[in-house]
Amino acid sequence: MTTRTYRLVAGVAVAVALAMTLAARSLRPTVHRSAPQAPAGLPRLVEIGADSCAPCKAMVGVLARLRRDYAGRLAVEHIDSWDRPEEARRLGVKTSPTILFYDAGGRELRRMEGYVPADRIVQVFRKLGVEL
């Protein structure tokens, strides 16, 4: 093959990859799992992840359980790093999912990366001196 052919093939490959990326982004579900900001006086758990990440998908059930079991005692929030990348950057998140633990005053106490089961999250809050 000639150099011109290689360039043409490479250009087509880049165009196809770009088209596939844009198509995949447009097909992502528009499910918003974000909770409103925590009411004053409640500890808060923030999970930052993406709908396309397997551990993040597994966290959906964990967040739902925590919302249900600790309603009125813990604010649980999800930030989609695809929809709100500036928020993930501002918080210094580099891995999905990242779980942020905040006290009732809004001070970050700890962060964990990867899938974290609900009972472990409650245990971490207790170790940090936050009773739910």
**Phi, psi of 111, deg, nearest 5:** -140, 145
Rounded CA separation 35/14 (Å): 38
Rounded CA separation 28/51 (Å): 8
In sequence order, the β-bridge partners of residue 47 are 78, 99
Measured at the CA of 107, the angle between CA 41 and CA 124, to 5 degrees, comes to 90
Residue 25: predicted pLDDT: 46
pTM over 0.75? The answer is no
Low-confidence ranges of the chain (pLDDT < 50): 19, 21-36
